[in-house]
Chain A
Amino acid sequence: DGGITQSPKYLFRKEGQNVTLSCEQNLNHDAMYWYRQDPGQGLRLIYYSQIVNDFQKGDIAEGYSVSREKKESFPLTVTSAQKNPTAFYLCASSILGQGPPWRYGYTFGSGTRLTVV
């Protein structure tokens, strides 16, 4: 079955350490996104990518980096510059194309819970 796979499910980061969250999709979607969810807040966009080798900053990109070397993969690195990284990280994908592709919404992965120890 097609879907989005995020790994790991739980991740613990030490102070000053960079960690990378994996996101892979086999839906043949063009666009991929990373969101962060904190308790009591809506999802906030970190980065998004609409084509391979191109990506755009979202609202809270500071302290994060991404790459999009393949259509299927959009890994997120949480760097030591991110001062408060403890959160639930969600990767999503969507189709792009002519007409209103946004009507189809996003498909989300099952998320990664990152905790600083």
Chain B
Amino acid sequence: RKEVEQDPGPFNVPEGATVAFNCTYSNSASQSFFWYRQDCRKEPKLLMSVYSSGNEDGRFTAQLNRASQYISLLIRDSKLSDSATYLCVVNIHNNNDMRFGAGTRLTVKP
């Protein structure tokens, strides 16, 4: 089993739609969680950290479910500019050793 698993997609949604991605992780001792955004042929950029109580940043909401070992990302009112690959990242050993999912590709269409 992979340490971090994501549905690769692609998710094709119309502008204005709400879309959600899930990510599961295998190590129950994982300490911290992130969502990164990666545009085609570019480097990943931090979108948001995921806190235990869940957190929101504008149209983006991240949730953590430790019991079921998954995190989620919800995007409301999708924009064309949201088209990208979204990487789930988990810190496994609490020492700056991050584990990356393979990413979920999102395409937002007019």
Question: Which A residues are CB-close (under 8 A) to B8?
Answer: 40
CA distance A42 to B45 in the complex (A): 14
Q: How many residues in A have their beta carbons less than 8 Å from beta carbons of B?
A: 28
Knowing A50-B96, A108-B45 are in contact, say whether A103-B101 is a contact too (CB < 8 A): no
B:56-110 near A, CB below 8 Å: 87, 89, 91, 94-103
Please determine whether B97 and A45 come into contact, CB atoms closer than 8 angstroms.
yes
- Asked if B12 lies at the interface with its beta carbon under 8 angstroms from chain A, I say no
The 10 A-B residue pairs with the shortest CB-CB distance in the complex, in nearest-first order: A42-B100, A108-B43, A43-B100, A105-B46, A42-B102, A102-B91, A102-B32, A105-B34, A111-B43, A110-B43
Across the interface, do B96 and A94 meet the contact criterion of CB distance under 8 Å?
yes
Q: How many residues of B contact A (CB 8 A)?
A: 27
Q: Which of A96-117 contact B (CB under 8 A)?
A: 96, 100-111, 113
From residue 71 to 117 of chain A, which have CB atoms closer than 8 A to chain B? 88, 90, 94, 96, 100-111, 113
Interface residues of A (CB under 8 A from B): 31, 33, 35, 40-45, 48, 50, 88, 90, 94, 96, 100-111, 113
Count of CB-CB pairs between chains A and B under 8 Å: 60
Nearest CB of B to A9, in Å = 10
Residues of B bordering A, CB below 8 Å: 2, 4, 8, 31-32, 34, 36, 41-46, 49, 87, 89, 91, 94-103
Q: Is the CB of B102 within 8 A of A40?
A: yes
- Give the distance in Å from the alpha carbon of A33 to the alpha carbon of B101 in the complex: 17
Q: Are A103 and B102 in contact (CB under 8 A)?
A: no
Residues of A within 8 A of B99 (CB): 42
Taken together as a complex, chains A and B put the C-alpha atoms of A106 and B44 apart, in Å, by 9
23 residue pairs of the A-B complex, CB under 8 angstroms, read A35-B100, A42-B2, A42-B87, A43-B100, A45-B97, A90-B43, A90-B44, A94-B96, A102-B31, A102-B91, A102-B94, A102-B96, A102-B98, A103-B49, A104-B49, A105-B36, A105-B46, A106-B44, A107-B46, A108-B44, A109-B43, A110-B42, A111-B43
How long is the Cα–Cα vector from A105 to B42 in the complex, in angstroms? 17
